[in-house]
């Protein structure tokens, strides 16, 4: 993580949003605060945060799928070795 837990706590970021994209969120919140009546002035920062969230989601899904496939492979190998050992 780029942003520390203290920085996120100081900015009052909710626990659900304290993730690997927290540094983008801090910049976005600061921009919203500095440009209060004009929320569309922070479009680039919002896009950066959304992109980071999406990339993080995709990576987590890839890791989950990899772990699932490895677990299934281990089960198949155990079954094969168990079946061949009984013969």
* DSSP character at residue 3: S
Q: Quick one: average pLDDT of 10-26?
A: 85
Per-residue pLDDT of 31-77, as tens digits, reads 999 998 887 889 999 999 999 999 999 999 999 999 999 999 999 99
Which residues, 6 or more positions from 39, have their beta carbon under 8 angstroms from its beta carbon? 32
Q: Give the predicted TM-score (pTM) of the model.
A: 0.74
- Please give the Cα distance from 78 to 84 (Å, whole number): 10
Q: What is the pLDDT of residue 60?
A: 96
Per-residue pLDDT of 61-72, as tens digits, reads 999 999 999 999
Is residue 84 predicted with pLDDT exceeding 70? Answer: no
């Amino acid at each position: 993580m780029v942003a520390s837990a203290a920085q996120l706590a100081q900015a009052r970021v909710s626990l659900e949003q304290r993730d690997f994209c927290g540094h983008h969120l801090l910049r976005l919140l600061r921009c919203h605060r500095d440009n209060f009546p004009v929320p569309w002035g922070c479009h680039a920062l919002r896009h950066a945060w959304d992109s980071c969230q999406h990339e993080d989601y995709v990576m987590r899904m890839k890791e989950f799928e990899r772990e699932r496939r490895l677990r299934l492979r281990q089960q198949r190998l155990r079954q094969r070795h168990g079946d061949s050992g009984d013969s």
